Structure formats: C-alpha cells, structure tokens
Amino acid sequence: MPQGDPGHDATNELGSSHGMDNHNANAQIAAQRLAEEAKEASSYGARGISDVTKAFTSAAQKLQPGQLVKDDYFTLFEAVGALEIMDPKMDSGYVPPGDTFEATFDVCKGLPAAEILWIMDELFRLEIAWFGGYPLSQTVFTSLHLDRLLSPDNKPPYTLNYGENPTGDIATEENLVHIVLRSYCIALAKCLQYVLGFVQSQNFYEEEDFVTHLFGRELLPKLGFNDADALLNDASTWLQSAALPSEYREALQSRLQFRKSLLTALNGSAEQWISCISAIEAVNKSHGHGIFQPEAFSDKVQRQLATSTPPRPVLKLSWDDACKQWTEMCQDIIEANRLTSAPIVQSASCLQRATWAFAYREPAPNTFTRAHMQSLLFGQDIISNTVSHFELFLTDIKEIVLTGHPLVDAESFQIELPSDPRHQCSRIIESFMDKAFDEYLNLYRMVCQNRCRIRRTFTQAIPILDELETLALGVDTELDNITPLQVLEIYGQPIRLNPLSNWTKFHKLQIVTWTVQLGFETDIYLPHELYTMYWLLLWYTSRQRQLLLCIEPFVLDRMKTLTKRRQTQQVVECLAAQDWLKSQGVSTETTHLISKALWRLYSMLMATHLIKTPKRQYAQESLLWDARMKSFFGLTNDPVPSLEDFVNAQHLESVQQSCRDIDEALKDARTNLSELRKMTPQQVRCVGTEEQWKREIKQMETTCVAIAVQTSQVLRVCAKNGDKGASGDEDLSALMEVSIPAPGSRYHDWWVVPLVKEKK
C-alpha cells in the first residue's frame, strides 16, 4: 500500500512515472519529509521501545466506521493506489483455493521442435505488444522460460536450471530448450534492454505511451551484446547438425536469424533493420509448423513480480497483427533514418517537414520509433554527422529572415576583435540563440510525441514563444543600435527589419495555427463550434500573411544590393529564399481561403438550423469563449480575438450569397494549390518529403472540391423548394440534414467538410 508514502516505488505501477528525474525528485522529497518527521518525533523525548497496542486500540475506537485517516497531503492518486489484500481482482498475490502458487510447468524439460517454435512465436507476439504500450508483466514476462532466466536467484551464465548445465547424453529435445530456446530468450532480454535505454533517453509519457517498469527484475546485466550474439551463433551451429526434419531446422534458424538481426540493429547497425524485415517474412512463413504449448506461459508469474498492479491476463494479439506491427516498426526506423539524412538536414525547413512526415506516417509510429527519431535529432549535438544544432538553428534564422545578410554570415561569428560591430552583433545573436535554444529544438521534439500530445505541448509552447518574441524585439533594437537595420517603406509605412522578433513570430504563429488545426484532428470541437474555430484560423492566417509581407521586401532589397556587388553566391541564396517565402505566402493564403470557405459554410448551416447548438443549460457564451480560447490567452503580441470581435465579424447573408462567396474563396484556393503544385521541392523546401507534400496538396484540392459539392447541394435543394434561403436565417432543417465526418474519414483530418443530405 502506497498510502502516506508518495515517494515510494510501490506507487509507481498504478501511475507514477519511472523517469529518473521524477523518481529522484519524489524520493528526495520523501526523504526530506521522513527526516523532518524523524526530527519532530525525536524531540518528544528519549528514544526507546514501547508497546503502543493499548494506545492504538483506544485511538481506533474513537474513529467512526469508514472514517478516513489521512494527512493534508494525501491525494486521490494515493487513494487509488490502495489495494485490498486477498481480493482476487486487486491482489496479484492472491491464490484461489485449490490453485498452486507457482506454475507447475518444468522449464528444464525437453520439448519437441514444433513446441519450441510456437513458444518463440508467442514471445514474438508478446514482445511487439510491449512495444505497443502494454507492461512486461502482461506480455513477455509471462514466459516461464524467460522468467527462470531473469529470476533473482539465477546467476551467470544464466541457465534454465540455475547455473548447472545439463551434462551427459542430452536428447535433441532437451538441447532445443537449453541451447536454442535459451539463446533466443537471452537475446530477447538484451533487446528489451536496448529498447528501454532508447525510450528512456528521450521524451515519452510513461504508461500513456509505454511502460518501462521491470517489476524488480533485471535484464541479465552481466551479459553483453557479444555474449548474446555468441549464444545465438552456437544455437545456430548446433541446429545445423541436429537430427530434425529440415522444415523445423529452417524454421528455428529463421527465428534465430530474426533475433540476431534485431539485436544487431538495436546495437547500432542501421542497415540491419532491412534484414529484420526479411527475417520477419521468413518467420511468418513457417508459423504454421508450431504446436500449441500454452503451459509455457502463465500469468501466475505476476504473483512474484514487484508490483502493486492488479493481476492482468496475458495479452492477446493476433499473429497477423503482430507480424504487421513488427514490419511497420522496422519500416518506421528505416524511414526515420532517411528523413534525417544529410541532404535533408541541410535546410531547417526541410527537416521540419521531414519531422512532420515521420509523425504522420500511418499507422502512427510507436513510442520506440519516435524515441529513435528523437535520438537521431537530439542524441548528439550534430545531426547525421553533418549539421550541428547551432548550425541548424542559425540556418533556420537565415532561411526565414536573414538570407544574404552579414548578420548570419558564419565569418561574422569568427571575428574576435571586440570593437568590430560584427563581433558585437554575433555575441548578441548568440546570446539570443542560447535563450531560445531549447524552445527551438522543441519545435522538432514536440512533433515526435504522440499525436494527442503534439497539440497539448503546442499549447504550452505558445506563451513561451510569445515571451521570446518580446525578448527578441529588444534584441533587434540592440542590433539596430550597433549596425542600423534596413528600413523600407511597406504599404506606405516605414518598417524596420526586425529579424529575430520576426523569426520568433513566424514560428509562434505557425504553432498557433497548427494548434487550432490539431483541434480538428483530435475532434475536440463540437459541430456548433466549427464556425468559430475556422474563423479563428482565418484570424491567425491573416497575421501570418501580414508577417510574410514584412519579411519578403527585405530579401528582395538585399538581393538588389548583392547583385550590384556581384556577390553571386548570396544572390542565389536570396533567390531561393524568395521562392520559399513565396511558397509560404501562397500556402498561407490557401489555408486562409479554405478556412474562410468553411467558416462561411458552417455559419450558413448554423443560421439555417441545419446545425443546432445544444441547450447547454449551464453555459454562458463568454465563459464558453474563455474555455475554448484558454490555450491562446498567453499571447500578448498577437492577442486572441475577443468574443465581441467574433460576433462583429459574423454577418447574415442569403444562402445564395454565402454559397457564391464560398465558391469564390474555393476558386482562389484551387488556383493557389495549382501554383504550389508547379513549384519544385527545392523551392518549397520539401526535399526528401516530396511525396508527402504532393499528397498534402492533393488532399487540399479534394477538400475544396468536396466543399463546393456541399454548396451546390444546398443551392439545389433550396431552388427545388421554391428558392428558399433568401433571408439566410430561415429554418431549412425540414429539407436537409448535415453530418460531420469523424477524423479518419475526412479528405484531410484538419479540414472538416460537412456532409449535406437532402431529406426525402
């Protein structure tokens, strides 16, 4: 029972994390608390032993039945951690009458090849379920063979009969267990260890994503990669001359080969992931030769694992699903390696796209592969042995706001003469980069989290980026004081180049719009909220447009100067930057137009009662607005619009006029999309993710078509019923009905196109 001892490890199984920092923090606080309590206790008098039974009994009698005894710090979390001993559903140590405490299966006895094969396949199945987020206690730890090997009593060389190798004449069936299955299990334990190391070195969410708990067991700490690899080799050699039917020999070899490839891949040989995929195919082909040996697995193992988890049954996962998930995982790793390769990491924008492309692989990459992606990006200070984090960051600033500008010239950072303005500016920029560094890398790391978390971490990043923007405004002024920054007349106003604040705003607004869009994907907006949220997207894409208008002219101006000076290299860079800024502009405009179309469409459907707002007995408009906009209230530089702004922006039009406006917006959006389609991967900076980019454009085109289909449907039904809709707010719910497609059944999960049907 974890009651009153929140730092204790026993609480962990039901909820707390095993991340070391947290664990240490908990332990530290618990230790502090204990020390304080001890100090307090010792102040009562001399230490000694006394019988408290009487005092305890009399105190207990003063309590009401059911009265809760707890201190002020006792949380619900701790209450939930309480277990009732001897309750079969709660107490994992409970042994029902007539049952044995331990499984009775003898792990030392020889088994036929067909059963060995089945056991290996069962482990293969359970292992991928563990990757999928289930605890070891419910998956591979239920193997009695593995349990024996990992038993705390077992010592190197970790044999199934506790350190004694079977001697004398051993039959084939026994060798199959003691040589083949044992080597497989030992290598499996090493694989688990590698995977745990990977996952725990990166950002992940304990229990939600993955369960790292080892239940007090260790994964053969005295054995290394070479030992496990050698055992697999020995097993393979023994199999070559074993008296077995060839199909069984080959089937077992393919399983050893799979394990060897996986172990080697996890040990750092990237090319081995391809071998894993072919090994999985081979394993799958001979799966049918296995003979059921369910006795080799038992959830009774849970009775001896260090846990406060209630007993849980061994996990079921179909063989086909297991093979599919293993293959997908290997493919995800291979793709992660490709997406962080040298050509892609040269451009920060390309790498951003690549990170998103990885996150949006279908089905969503599992925790281990997301950790792998993170380790490729952040495992070292340098990505893909080519680009350091500092270079990546500087490239990003350069690509977005300062192409061709001496401020981001690598040489400026080398100048050591303190009086040189380039030296001074470089130090100022470096100091800003230091402050923004974590948040910059988070732009990549956040995307490597599970998809629900991407949105939630974005909402936390918004106020931080906004504060950073405020800071950057000051830094821009400092730079201007040293070397005056360009001032250009933009739309009749003199505007100064504000490189760092514009860079920050660029990313901030991107995160803001993505946050809104991820809300559509995670389906947190109700049908009657959709017009509000598309209007909000419209609002922030306007901000993005304005920002681009304050960046582009400076690049053009700089290019003119550079051309005069015949600085060809920089001119080429400026041209590329202009192309990219243009593509950003067109892309932002497209998002803006589609948001506009959907905002108007949903407004019209609301006004004509085709989408109804529920009664909402306890809701107040202004409080609903507060609740919905909470994620954006931290914005001070681009504050979230007020409910009044929203209400004022709405205007009632006839259905016919609304449809015309929507179609107009869609027409422009489609023109933009075809323009984007014509741009090269270099221009839009989607090198390495060309396919994903094309798919994205295609999905948006289909979305536009789908919206237009809805407006024509509405117009057709209105016309058919005597030109209904002229007032814009008449109730059309007798004529039509609207359904909202769920995520996964949309042309693009960020664009919710309603489905209008005529009522028959």
List binders of another protein among 167-226 (CB under 8 A).
Answer: 200-203, 205-209
d(CA 522, CA 750): 9
User: What tokens appear for 9 in the block?
Assistant: 């490890």
Tallying the residues shown for the chain, one arrives at 760
Instruction: Report the nearest approach of another protein to the CB of residue 583 (Å).
Output: 28
Q: Which is nearer to another protein, 176 or 329 (CB)?
A: 329
Q: How far is the CB of 605 from another protein (least distance, A)?
A: 18
Q: Please report which residue ranges of 446-529 form alpha helices under DSSP H.
A: 451-482, 499-521
The backbone region for 163, taken as left when phi is positive above 0, alpha when psi lies in -120 to 50, beta otherwise, is left
Interface pick for another protein out of 303, 423, 453, 694 (rule CB under 8 A)? 453
**Cα–Cα dist 452/686, whole Å:** 25
Single out the residue of 35, 59, 482, 619 in contact with another protein (rule: CB under 8 A): 619
Task: Give the torsion through C-alpha atoms of 247, 248, 252, 254, to 10 deg.
Answer: 10
Q: Which is nearer to another protein, 152 or 743 (CB)?
A: 743
The region of 299-307, 330-338, 473-481, 618-626 touching another protein under the rule CB under 8 A is 618-626
Residue of 618, 678, 722, 744 interacting with another protein (CB under 8 A): 618
CB of 103 vs another protein, minimal distance in Å:
22
Neighbours of 456 (CB within 10 A): 16
CB-based contacts of 632, cutoff 8 Å, min separation 6: 462, 512, 515, 640
Number of H helices, E strands in the chain: 25, 6
Give the footprint of another protein on residues 694-713 (CB under 8 A): none
* Stretch of 519-527, 679-687, 716-724, 730-738 lying at the interface with another protein (CB under 8 A): 519-527
Contact indicator for 407, 485 with CB cutoff of 8 Å: no
* Contacting range for another protein; rule: CB under 8 A; set: 144-152, 175-183, 239-247, 612-620: 612-620
Smallest distance, Å, CB 620 to another protein? Answer: 8
What are the structure tokens assigned to 713, written together?
């449907």
How far CA 98 is from CA of 85, 94, 95, in Å, comes to 18, 12, 8
Q: Site for another protein (CB under 8 A): which residue of 178, 255, 389, 455?
A: 455
Is residue 437 within 8 A of residue 388, CB to CB? The reply is no
Could you tell me which stretch among 279-287, 423-431, 508-516, 517-525 binds another protein (CB under 8 A)? Answer: 517-525
For another protein, the binding residue among 55, 633, 649, 712 (CB under 8 A) is 633
Q: In the complex, what is the shortest distance from the CB of residue 380 to another protein, in angstroms, rounded to a whole number?
A: 13
State how far the alpha carbon of 600 is from the alpha carbons of 188, 528, 637, 659, in Å. Answer: 57, 13, 27, 8
Residue 731: CB minimum distance to another protein, A: 19
- Quick one: which segment of 180-188, 396-404, 524-532, 659-667 binds another protein (CB under 8 A)? 524-532
Please identify which residue in 64, 241, 493, 745 interacts with another protein, judged by CB under 8 A.
64
**What φ, ψ does residue 388 adopt, rounded to 5°?**
-80, 160
Binding residues for another protein, how many (CB under 8 A)?
Answer: 85
- Distance in Å, CB of 544 to another protein, minimum: 23
* Interaction between residue 741 and another protein (CB under 8 A): no
| End-to-end CA gap in the chain | 62
Q: Considering only residues 309-328, where is the footprint of another protein by CB under 8 A? A: 310, 312
Q: Does 739 bind another protein (CB under 8 A)?
A: no
Alpha-carbon distance of 347 to 683, in angstroms, equals: 12
Q: How far is residue 457's CA from residue 700's CA, in Å, rounded to a whole number?
A: 26
**Inter-CA distances, 164 with 160, 331, 648, Å:** 8, 41, 83
Nearer to another protein, 28 or 712 (CB): 28
For the CB of residue 517, give the shortest distance to another protein in the complex, in Å: 14
Can you tell me whether residue 183 is helix, strand or coil?
helix
Tokens 């499996």 belong to 188
Q: Which is nearer to another protein, 452 or 576 (CB)?
A: 452
Other Cβ atoms within 10 Å of 616 Cβ, number: 10
Tell whether residue 60 is a contact of another protein (CB under 8 A).
Answer: no
Query: Of the candidates 42, 165, 269, 460, which one interacts with another protein according to CB under 8 A?
Result: 460
User: Considering beta carbons, is residue 623 or 709 the nearer one to another protein?
Assistant: 623
Beta-carbon contacts of 73 under 8 Å, excluding residues fewer than 6 positions away, are 6
Q: Show the site string, 536-575: x = touches another protein by CB under 8 A, - = not.
A: ----------------------------------------
- Give 10 or 575: the residue with its C-beta nearer to another protein: 10
Q: β-strand 387-388 against 736-739: which pairing, if any?
A: unpaired
Rule CB under 8 A: choose which of 118, 124, 130, 134 binds another protein. 134
**Cβ contacts of 701 within 8 Å, gap of 6 or more:** 670, 673
Residue 187 or 446 with smaller CB distance to another protein: 446
| Interface stretch with another protein, choices 241-249, 402-410, 608-616, 721-729 (CB under 8 A) | 608-616
Of 71-110, binders to another protein (CB under 8 A) are: 73, 75-77, 79-84, 87, 89-90
Locus of tokens 């998956």: 139
Site for another protein in 423-452 (CB under 8 A): 438-439, 442, 445-446, 449-452
Q: Which of 229, 633, 308, 340 is nearest to 466 (CA)?
A: 633
Residues 6+ apart with CB under 8 A from 112: 173, 176, 291
Q: Which of 472, 473, 446, 449 is nearest to 461 (CA)?
A: 446
Token pair of 435 as six digits: 């402050």
Among 616, 677, 720, 759, binds another protein (CB under 8 A): 616
Q: Which of 218, 626, 644, 731 binds another protein (CB under 8 A)?
A: 626
Q: What distance in Å separates the CA atoms of residue 590 and residue 252, rounded to the nearest whole number?
A: 56
CB-nearer residue toward another protein: 614 or 722: 614
Closer residue to another protein (CB): 79 or 556: 79
Going by C-alpha positions, the residue among 390, 397, 402, 382 that lies closest to residue 342 is 382
Shortest distance, CB of residue 632 to another protein, whole angstroms? 9
Regarding 307 and contact with another protein (CB under 8 A), the answer is: no
Nearer of residues 529 and 730 to another protein, judged by Cβ: 529
Of 93, 110, 133, 641, which one interacts with another protein (CB under 8 A)? 133
Tokens encoding 637: 């530089």
Looking at residues 9 to 38 of the shown chain, list those that interact with another protein (rule: CB under 8 A): 14-22, 25-26, 29, 33
The identity of residue 194, as a single letter, is Y
CB of residue 445 vs another protein: minimum separation in angstroms? 7
Nearest residue (CB) to another protein, 248 versus 531 = 531
What is residue 155's three-state secondary structure? coil
CA 65/CA 728 separation, integer angstroms: 65
Binders of another protein in range 347-376 (CB under 8 A)? none
In the complex, the smallest distance separating the C-beta of residue 73 from another protein, rounded to whole angstroms, is 5
Give the torsion through C-alpha atoms of 323, 324, 329, 333, to 10 deg.
110
Q: Show the site string, 258-297: x = touches another protein by CB under 8 A, - = not.
A: ----------------------------------------
Q: Which is nearer to another protein, 273 or 520 (CB)?
A: 520
Structural contact between residues 574 and 562, judged by C-beta atoms closer than 8 angstroms:
yes
How far, CA to CA in Å, does 584 sit from each of 164, 278, 496, 541?
68, 41, 21, 11
